[in-house]
Amino acid sequence: MDMLQLFGLAACAALILSGSPLPALAQDRPVGPGFQTRSEVRGARGAAATSQPLATLTAIEVLKAGGSAVDAAIAANAVLALVEPTGCGLGGDLFALVHDPEQGLAGYNGSGRSPAGLSAELLAQRGLKRMPAHGALPVTVPGCVDGWFALHQRFGRRPMGELLAPAIAAAREGFVLTPVIAEAWRKNAPALLQFSGFRAQFTAEGRTPEAGEIWRNPGLATTLEALARGGREAFYTGEIAARIAAEVAAEGGFLSAADLAAHRGEWVEPISVAYRGVELHELPPNGHGITALQHLELLEGFDLARLGFGSADHLHLFIETKKLCFEDRARLIADPDHYPAPIERLLSAEYAAERRALIDPARAAKRVAPGLQAFDEGDTIILATADSRGQMVALIQSNYRGLGSGIAPAGLGFVLQDRGELFDLSPGRPNSYAPGKRPFHTIIPALLTRGGQPWVAFGVMGGATQPQMHAWVTCNLVDFGLGLQAAGDAPRAIHRNSSEPTGERMLDGGVVHLESGLAEWEVVRELLRRGHRVEWNDGEFGGYQAVARDPVHGTWLAASESRKDGLALAY
């Protein structure tokens, strides 16, 4: 038995004697804020970081062929749609931040809308209090493909057919499944086996593929070939759109060919806050990037560097500030066409000071004002790329839940998202369901600038994990001076609501999930003394990918953390 295991047993024994709640045993993991799995990779011309080696290799090949960072991101995303269907695909949505040396910072919101033919009244007549997690009702228009073509039209340098070719080839020839994805596939599939299109295309007669197995998706190859020939219209009109609508209708849903034909994503102005000499940029609602900005605004009032990474004071303040900004997240984030959030007020120093004054430095808050907050599930991919011209991209894409709704149109090779699950079915709220409306969205890319110059493009996938970890990573880089790799590898603390099965309301203080690198006994004991409920290694800690500009040498860095199957490369 090694020292870490002895420590865990001793700590649990002490908890038993004290009568405090017993956390789950921690898994072995090196401790300390400076822990990292490897050094950052470095290169002079370009860089890429994704959650799958094949996608990263594809991105680098595109960059070497003269493609832009946006080209590399699109090509990598197409490969990820094949090799990581548990997190993304053509049936999902897409968001991106692009910093271009000529055009500056641009944001793209590629979220789809609810069906025009499904009303809140019809959902109420069916007796639904919540949108179901799977099936045809939560399906919204997929925005991914439109996002690819919008990004490519503005920033692309290589033909779209060339960018999709690696994914097409791998879909036909097969790819080797990686361990993290194999496990996610196994866990998510049982709820979706009721859908014939899913069984036929994403299982082998009901069996999910294993790590190390070669898996093919000829339907996806055919769909991507159609896009290479016919552009975005090949997806949103014509045969593909008709087949999507027919499959949804057969399963009792309402998404129509007209809904698909009407879809357009939009370019949006990013929002930002300054934090100790750097600026964090996020996309405005309907996503919750604003929550990460609020979190940093609250944290700026505390000297985290003096408190020290992983100290009880650091963790307590991070958790308590998270609770406050997530209350606003629950109430105020929705489709801006239906409810324009008070962004200026939420990000003001005055408001942050008001909210910060509510924090008790000695006690954990047990309750906040109620509001819909069913936003904690979901799986996603995040990737980051950079090119020789200085263009940087953070692109995030998702099916929402691991394998989406389960509705997989026959022969097309992808599953439609269930993003509509995030609508509020209570009337009169900002995120209440309405036809043709975009739901609250969890996927958010991030970009840091320093002195107005692009520094880091990054993201941390994982539902409600994302805004917390955008703030966590920023603090790691800025307050604690960690490098790009260590900022992602350092152990994490995540706060979750726990009072209801759905996590809608925090009535009992929620749960603090700690990775074992933060589970020093004195720290845990102090958190318990302050009223926190603590569990170890029992949360979704997300998946971090990042590229950065070395401000001294003008070269590139890339980092991909150890919690996923990913790879960072630079050249």
Return phi, psi of residue 462, to 5°. 125, 60
Return phi, psi of residue 428, to 5°. 85, 10
Tens digit of pLDDT for each residue in 123-175?
999 999 999 999 999 999 999 999 999 999 999 999 999 999 999 999 999 99
Dihedral sign (CA 335, 352, 374, 471): positive
Does 380 qualify as catalytic in the annotation?
A: yes
* 366 vs 310, higher pLDDT: 310
Alpha-carbon gap, residue 210 to 208, rounded angstroms: 7
Q: What is the pTM of this model?
A: 0.92
Query: What is the bridge-based pairing of β-strands 534-536 and 511-514?
Result: parallel
Q: Write down the mean pLDDT value for the chain.
A: 90
Tens digit of pLDDT for each residue in 395-454?
999 999 889 999 999 999 999 999 999 999 999 999 999 999 999 999 999 999 999 999
Structure token pair of residue 340: 């324009």
Angle between helices 53-64 and 160-173 (to 10 degrees): 150
Domains and CATH numbers, the chain: 29-40+270-376+444-564 (1.10.246.130), 54-94+114-268+404-422 (no CATH)
Alpha-carbon gap, residue 63 to 70, rounded angstroms: 10
Alpha-carbon gap, residue 465 to 71, rounded angstroms: 28
- Closest Cα to residue 261, out of 404, 68, 155, 112? 112
Q: What is the largest CA-CA distance in the chain?
A: 68
Structure token pair of residue 201: 């295309």
- Residue 399: the pLDDT is 92
The CA-atom distances, in angstroms, between 467 and each of 114, 215, 262, 305, 384 are: 24, 34, 31, 20, 17
Tens digit of pLDDT for each residue in 470-515?
999 999 999 999 999 999 999 999 998 754 433 445 667 889 999 8
Instruction: Identify the active-site residue in 56, 291, 380, 449.
Output: 380
